[in-house]
Structure 1
Amino acid sequence: MKDQQIFKQYIDLLPFLAAVLGNECEIVIHDLTNPQASIIAIKNPVSGRKKGDALTHFAQEILDQGLYHNQDFIANYNGQSKHHDFLSSTFFIKNGKTIIGMLCINKNLTPAKHTMFALENLLKSYNLIQNQEENITEQFDSSIVDIAKSRIQEIIARQKVPVAYMSIEDKLTVLQKLKDDAILDTKGSIQEVAAQLHVSIPTIYRYLKRIK
């Protein structure tokens, strides 16, 4: 089958996906043969992009790392535009074993975050949220690994943002605290924090380069 025939099958799906996923969900198809103008179809352009725009740096990084060789998609990673935070997923479009494009779905988290912050402020006004400085937990685990795991969970919980809705800045804050507390020096901690933050281990190392 020719590449253009494959692309047409995915492009024909866009109206259906847009109707199912809603207006705050951007759906993009990239043709990787032309990275400087890779977007060949887009619905609900919440990010402000348009047909003919270039491939993102992150998408190019995925290609450079060859992640598409061993998996068909990457789900639920963080994306950002100038005004919005996204929960993004990418499906690799292939012709046989050759990657030719990407189907990207970007869920706009900004309205949900605004609602969460409004709810948090409402709860605070009635003293229904425990102060962070009072959120003290005593650990009785005997294993250092278990203690590290519990500490990671505690620090993530203190962000008061579900992991699925965390921005990159939220995750950097978590990593900074874990680093300050020397939790990341514990054996297996990198794998554990990657699992709890729903990102890959290479992503954690990339984030660590951005903090002090």
Structure 2
Amino acid sequence: MTPVVDGIAATLGPLCEVVLHDYRRPEASVVAVAGSVTGRTVGGAMSEIGMRVLARGAEAADDLNYLTRTRGGRLVKSSTMVLRDSAGAVFGALCLNLDVTAVGQVHSLLGTLAGLDGAPAEPPTTTFGNDIDSVVDALVDAHQVRQRGSWAELDRAERVELFRGLDARGVFAVRRAVEQVAARLGISRASAYHYLSLARAATGTTPDGGSA
């Protein structure tokens, strides 16, 4: 599919980036890239968007024309198209990222000139990192910020919810993610597995040590 990647990027121009992922190797899922919007490179890791696709498993579906923002501040319109093998199992994705920062600025200016009140909802910030560790760390940090407290300040229910949220986003589909999350939170590996087990029990998910 590499010629498809190059062809789409050439057709849509310099503000477009096309990324081909092989999700069977999350730590180095990027197998082809054309254009430069998120700074992806061949051999780079999947983003949290890819983790969410893995977390949905057989229920994963194409996600088209959603807005996100890079950590550098670029406003990006993206589409993630799921790739399946002959048995229907998800193995990768073809992703399009279009830098619409300038379009957003013009839209805001025209709205102000027209006297239209109310700012549009701020799109979520996505960590596009070529290192899978940076992606996992960003997700853990974002969850802690939302819960407004360090691990020591969270009660048992909040700790379970933190692990449930990370699991729902596919973090633990990444090899050695449990150990990394434990280190980021400053807890033992055993404690991390304990809270992951509680989170999965609460949602009726069967723990899968192999995916963690």
Gaps of 5+ in 2: 126-167, 170-212
Q: Give the TM-score of the pair, scaled to structure 2.
A: 0.52
**Alignment partners' CA distance in 2, 1:13 and 1:58:** 21
Structure 2 residue 123 is matched with structure 1 residue 167: yes
**Alignment partners' CA distance in 1, 2:123 and 2:107:** 14
**Alignment partners' CA distance in 1, 2:23 and 2:79:** 17
Provide the residue aligned with 1:40 in structure 2.
31
How many angstroms does 1:120 deviate by?
4.3
Q: Is the 8 A contact 1:37 1:53 kept in 2?
A: yes
**Alignment partners' CA distance in 2, 1:71 and 1:47:** 23
**Alignment partners' CA distance in 2, 1:47 and 1:19:** 17
Kindly report which structure 2 residues correspond to 1:1-212, keeping only aligned pairs within 5 A, or say none: 10-66=1-57, 69-70=58-59, 72-83=61-72, 84-96=74-86, 97-120=88-111, 123=113, 128-129=114-115, 132=117, 158-159=118-119, 161=120, 167-168=123-124
Residue by residue over 1:170-207, the C-alpha shift from the partner in whole angstroms, topping out at 9 and shown as x without a partner, is xxxxxxxxxxxxxxxxxxxxxxxxxxxxxxxx99xxxx
What SS does structure 1 have at the residue aligned with 2:66?
Answer: strand
**Alignment partners' CA distance in 2, 1:101 and 1:82:** 24
**Alignment partners' CA distance in 2, 1:55 and 1:168:** 17
Change (3 A) 1:32 1:64: same
Structure of greater Rg: 1
Q: Is the 8 A contact 1:18 1:27 kept in 2?
A: yes
**Alignment partners' CA distance in 1, 2:36 and 2:51:** 20
**Alignment partners' CA distance in 2, 1:120 and 1:59:** 34
Residue by residue over 1:79-134, the C-alpha shift from the partner in whole angstroms, topping out at 9 and shown as x without a partner, is 2212212111111111111222110111112111122234345x2xxxx415x4xx
**Alignment partners' CA distance in 2, 1:85 and 1:167:** 8
How many angstroms does 1:60 deviate by?
0.6
Change (3 A) 1:95 1:78: same
**Alignment partners' CA distance in 1, 2:9 and 2:71:** 22
Q: Give the TM-score of the pair, scaled to structure 1.
A: 0.52
What SS does structure 2 have at the residue aligned with 1:55?
Answer: coil
Q: Is the 8 A contact 1:40 1:52 kept in 2?
A: yes
Question: How many residues are treated as equivalent by the alignment?
Answer: 125
Gaps of 5+ in 1: 1-9, 133-157, 170-201, 204-212
Alignment RMSD: 2.5
Q: Which amino acid aligns with 1:87?
A: K
**Alignment partners' CA distance in 2, 1:87 and 1:110:** 9
